[in-house]
Amino acid sequence: QPDTGRTSQQNMAVQAAWDNHFGAFGAQDLPKILLDYTEKSVIEVFDHRTGVRQTFKGLSQISECFTNLFKALSNTSDLAAPVVHVEENSPDGAGQVFLVWSCAASGFVSVTDTFIFDKDCKIWRQNVVMTTKG
């Protein structure tokens, strides 16, 4: 492992932020999930089925995004995340998470998220590409 000049606690910061996000998502805990974002955060969402691209900026719009998503995730019996890859912040670049998930019982056939974290390990950008059932 390269020496990044950071303590082991700092090296685990993106992982800790991700653990909060993943747990809050699974519990559909909106206040907890909003702790991962700032007013500078942006979520971009594209659905292949509808061809619609949506942008959510700042905490108010991100709250709306997750409120609607949690309503849509009414049946999580088959919620699965076969790919979760976490990379910490380093001198070479920003920390990020690559996530692939599905929840066909709620109409989410395939979803891919990329999370890019800022220096404080808050989600700066989140890009979501999905295929939903009509």
Span 48-86, pLDDT tens digits = 999 999 999 999 999 999 999 999 999 999 999 999 999
pLDDT digits (tens, 9 = 90+) for 75-133: 999 999 999 999 999 998 999 999 999 999 999 999 999 999 999 999 999 999 999 99
Closest CA relative to residue 62, chosen from 105, 107, 25, 92: 25
Q: Are the C-beta atoms of 2 and 19 separated by less than 8 Å?
A: no
Residue with tokens 């509808």: 50
Calculate the alpha carbon distances from 94 to 13, 16, 97 in Å: 12, 15, 10
**H or E element: which one contains 120?**
none
Closest CA relative to residue 17, chosen from 40, 1, 2, 38: 38
Closest CA relative to residue 24, chosen from 65, 82, 70: 70
pLDDT digits (tens, 9 = 90+) for 2-36: 333 444 444 459 999 999 999 999 999 999 999 99
Predicted TM-score (pTM) of the model is: 0.89
**Can you give the length of the chain in residues?**
134
Residue with tokens 């969402």: 45
What is residue 12's DSSP assignment? Answer: T
What is the rounded distance in angstroms from the CA atom of residue 58 to the CA atom of residue 122? 12
What is the rounded distance in angstroms from the CA atom of residue 127 to the CA atom of residue 112? 8
